Structure 1
Amino acid sequence: MRAVQITEFGGPEVVQVREVPEPVPSAGQILIDVARCGVNFSDTLLRENAYIAAATLPLIPGGEVVGRAPDGRRLAAMIPNGGYAERAVIPQDTAFAVPDGIDDVEAVALLAQGLTAWWLVNRTADVQPGDSVVVHAAAGGVGSLAVQLAKLRGAGRIIATAGTPQKRDLALELGADAAVDPATEDLAAALSEANDGRQVDVVMEMTGGRVTDQSLDALAPFGRLAFYGMASLIEPSKVSPRTLQRRSATVAGFWLMHAFAHPAVLHKAYAELATKVMAGDLRVVHGGDHPMSEVRRVHDELRNRRTTGKLVIDPAR
């Protein structure tokens, strides 16, 4: 079968389409024909062996897929790797049934991004009615969904950040009340100004460095910062206990892999997200449906933040 395989760590040039043996399912696994595979920022880190979990070569990247099982069921699942391929094995107990009203891009977008956004809003940050919420990278896969889910949960004011005017306009279309350029020199002041001069209750953050530090400065007493990624690998963050105490602030980290210890919650979350999409209450931003043969370009655009919404690759092309 055709698949993307990495045999050495490095830049986009190490990502190559090859002929590889078809995977063989073990007990508790299902072999599916992959219709689409999601592409995530974490894939570019994995390519460099810079992700949270260390990688072992050779490696077929891709942690989220949607496709058909031999019995015809349409399933979506997250897997450790192996998704950039024509066929993949998925775990039976954490495979999500995909309703007919959900297309392939939506089915994949509701996995890593959708479940992360759901957990951030409902659990980690615990957004309450009336809370002011900052969503960084609000035009991205997680951010675009988090803006909408926070609004549906009753957030009082949502402030989005995004790096271009087009991305900020998209965040406003999705329900944000204000949009800020994260490159603003005094970001803390800009966030407070966007919140009618008040400090904010919640920040959802995945950048790191200066953005994290200034987001903490923008928090109101008892504010919560939910940290779910680190796009800026070269900028260290300076989170001190004294800073947290001065604001009675909470900083929480979240990695979706830990949530798979709670499969019942994830199945409930996926079904809830799918229902909202079919009802028209939640919009998945399609970021591009690309042939697998163009995976190098997709990685380059994603890493350099030239994308919006959910990106997928089609193994058949």
Structure 2
Amino acid sequence: MLAIRFDRFGGPEVLTPVDVPAPVPGPGEVLITVEAAGVNFADTFQVDGSYLDAGLLPHIPGGEVVGRTGDGRRVLAKVTHGYAQQVVARESALVEVPEELDAPRALALLTQGLTAWHLLRSAARLEAGESVVVHSAAGGVGSLAVQLAREFGAGLVLAQASTPEKERLALDLGADGPARYPLDRRVDVILDAAGGDLFDRALGSLADFGRLVTYGNASRTAFSALDPARLSRLNASVVGFWLRPTLARPGALHEPLKELFDLTLRGRLRPVAGPEYPLAEARRAHTDLLERRTTGKVVLLP
């Protein structure tokens, strides 16, 4: 079967199409024929060595797929080696997907949708009427967080994006306006996956008891030391978030996904489908993602 593998750490150039044997399910696992595989920023960190050690090479990246089991079920699954025509997943982790939900939107709701949901509900603990700034608001997580913040009762939603076109997309999705630093007002919640200078400017923009939720470092800039005295003066907090351990908590996977499916099928939530690439062109997909040329959910099609 066709898969994408890398034998050394580096940039997109190390991703190589290869022919490998189909995986064999073990106890409690099921074989899935992949309809589409999701591409996430976390995948690029696997490729450059930020998430893996050399002892795990060679490696097939990819953490999520939508596809069919041997008995015909259409499922979403968190996996380990998703950039392939077939994968194995734990039976207990499968989530059945409505047939009317296309693969890109379904994949958008898995990693990005769950991240946006938990950023607002579990990490920021958003309360009705609070103000929210979403960084990278046209991206996979950001575009959903803009909409969910409104759905969860935010009084004001501002969108930060890297281009005017991406700002317009966020406004079309329900943001009240663009977020440009310095902000005109202090805000209650800021969601940041960029890090670097944007993180520092956001921290100084929090209202009393505001929460800056950090869930990534897309800028790949080293974080400066966080001074507790500065947090005291701001009367604010910084909250770290990572989806993987969150999903190990009871009720953290199926219940939020059920709500996300329902909102989407009722037209209240609009996952943004991004570009689709043939599986063999994973290198190009990673390049476009890293160079900020994509919006919405990026997928690979075997």
Q: What letter is aligned with 1:6?
A: F
User: Does the 8 Å CA contact 1:200/1:218 hold for their aligned counterparts?
Assistant: yes
Deviation at 1:236, TM superposition (A): 2.5
User: For structure 1, which runs of at least 5 residues remain unmatched after alignment?
Assistant: 182-186
**2:13 maps to 1:13:** yes
Deviation at 1:263, TM superposition (A): 4.7
The equivalent position to 1:261 in structure 2, one of 237, 244, 248, is 248
**Number of equivalent positions:** 301
Partner secondary structure for residue 282 of structure 1? coil
* Residue in 1 that maps onto 2:26: 26
Q: Percent identity?
A: 49
User: Does the 8 Å CA contact 2:133/2:179 hold for their aligned counterparts?
Assistant: no
Equivalence map 1:119-198=2 (5 Å):
119-181=118-180, 187=181, 189=182, 191=183, 193=184, 198=185
For 1:298 and 1:97, the matched residues in 2 are separated by: 27
Q: What letter is aligned with 1:119?
A: H
* Residue in 2 that maps onto 1:216: 203
Deviation at 1:97, TM superposition (A): 1.0
* Residue in 1 that maps onto 2:117: 118
Give the structure-2-normalised TM-score. Answer: 0.97
Q: CA RMSD in A?
A: 1.2
For 1:180 and 1:252, the matched residues in 2 are separated by: 20
For 2:100 and 2:92, the matched residues in 1 are separated by: 22
Deviations for 1:200-222, whole angstroms, at most 9, x for unmatched residues?
Answer: 00000001111111101000110
Partner secondary structure for residue 169 of structure 1? helix
User: Does the 8 Å CA contact 1:210/1:237 hold for their aligned counterparts?
Assistant: no
For 2:53 and 2:267, the matched residues in 1 are separated by: 39
User: Does the 8 Å CA contact 1:62/1:82 hold for their aligned counterparts?
Assistant: yes
* Residue in 2 that maps onto 1:246: 233
For 1:177 and 1:295, the matched residues in 2 are separated by: 35
Deviation at 1:54, TM superposition (A): 4.1
* Residue in 1 that maps onto 2:60: 60
Deviation at 1:239, TM superposition (A): 2.0
**2:69 maps to 1:49:** no
Deviation at 1:99, TM superposition (A): 1.2
Partner secondary structure for residue 114 of structure 2? helix
* Residue in 2 that maps onto 1:199: 186
For 2:68 and 2:260, the matched residues in 1 are separated by: 21
* Residue in 1 that maps onto 2:285: 298
User: For structure 2, which runs of at least 5 residues remain unmatched after alignment?
Assistant: none
* Residue in 1 that maps onto 2:83: 84
Deviations for 1:108-155, whole angstroms, at most 9, x for unmatched residues?
Answer: 111110100000111101111111100000000000000000000110
Deviation at 1:31, TM superposition (A): 0.5
Q: What letter is aligned with 1:301?
A: D
Deviations for 1:171-216, whole angstroms, at most 9, x for unmatched residues?
Answer: 00011111135xxxxx2x2x2x1xxxx3100000001111111101
Deviation at 1:264, TM superposition (A): 2.7
Deviation at 1:105, TM superposition (A): 0.7
For 1:47 and 1:162, the matched residues in 2 are separated by: 25
* Residue in 2 that maps onto 1:96: 95
Equivalence map 1:264-303=2 (5 Å):
264-303=251-290
Partner secondary structure for residue 26 of structure 1? coil
Partner secondary structure for residue 110 of structure 1? helix
For 1:110 and 1:116, the matched residues in 2 are separated by: 9
Q: What letter is aligned with 1:246?
A: R
